[in-house]
């Protein structure tokens, strides 16, 4: 069952500057979710409050991730590391999104590692 995919205004404005091949992967992710939901995604998809305990900003990151219901998805940019198997592929870049009831809102796109949460200006639009 598909879910609705929205874009935060900040990331939506920035997409015009993305390379076409990166936009294609983002649109494929959007179309997959709208058709199948979270089933059978190739990349790792996880709640962003699963922060390593040794992270010096652990409590702050966990609090923000929980407050905004943040998740992140390994989008396959520039490519996937497939060593951990389908559904757990990782990549240098991730999409950050707010997970709601029957929808997500994509709010940011960052390199990983290190794991950084979106700034509040990306979350509050």
Condensed to tens digits (0 to 9), the pLDDT of residues 17-61 reads 999 999 999 999 999 999 999 999 999 999 999 999 999 999 999
Domain residues for the domain of 94 are 4-123
With beta carbons less than 8 A apart as the criterion, state whether 27 and 21 touch: no
Q: Residue written as tokens 């959007």?
A: 30
Task: Identify whether the C-beta of residue 88 lies closer than 8 Å to the C-beta of residue 102.
Answer: no
Helix (H) or strand (E) holding 95: strand 93-99
pTM for the whole thing? 0.95
* 59, two tokens: 């409590």
Q: In this predicted model, what pLDDT tens digit does every residue of 57-96 receive, in sequence order?
A: 999 999 999 999 999 999 999 999 999 999 999 999 999 9
The band of 102, judged by pLDDT with boundaries at 50, 70 and 90, is very high
- Assigned token pair, 92: 């240098």
- 10 Å CB burial of residue 70 (0-12, 13-18, 19+) is buried
Domain count, the chain: 1
The answer to whether residues 6 and 103 touch, using CB atoms and an 8 Å cutoff, is yes
**Quick one: pLDDT at residue 125?**
73
CATH number at residue 107: 3.30.2310.20
Please name the residues in contact with 83: beta carbons below 8 A apart, sequence gap of 6 or more.
none
């Amino acid at each position: 069952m598909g879910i609705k995919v929205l874009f935060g205004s900040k990331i939506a404005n920035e997409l015009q500057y993305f390379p076409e091949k990166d936009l294609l992967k983002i649109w494929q992710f959007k179309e997959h979710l709208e058709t199948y939901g979270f089933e059978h995604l190739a990349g790792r998809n996880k709640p962003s409050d699963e922060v390593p305990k040794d992270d010096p900003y652990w409590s702050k990151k966990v609090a923000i991730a929980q407050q905004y219901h943040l998740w992140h998805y390994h989008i396959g940019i520039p490519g996937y590391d497939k060593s951990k198997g389908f559904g757990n592929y990782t990549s240098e870049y991730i999409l950050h999104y707010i997970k709601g009831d029957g929808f997500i809102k994509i709010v940011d796109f960052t390199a990983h590692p290190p794991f950084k949460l979106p700034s509040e200006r990306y979350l509050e639009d």
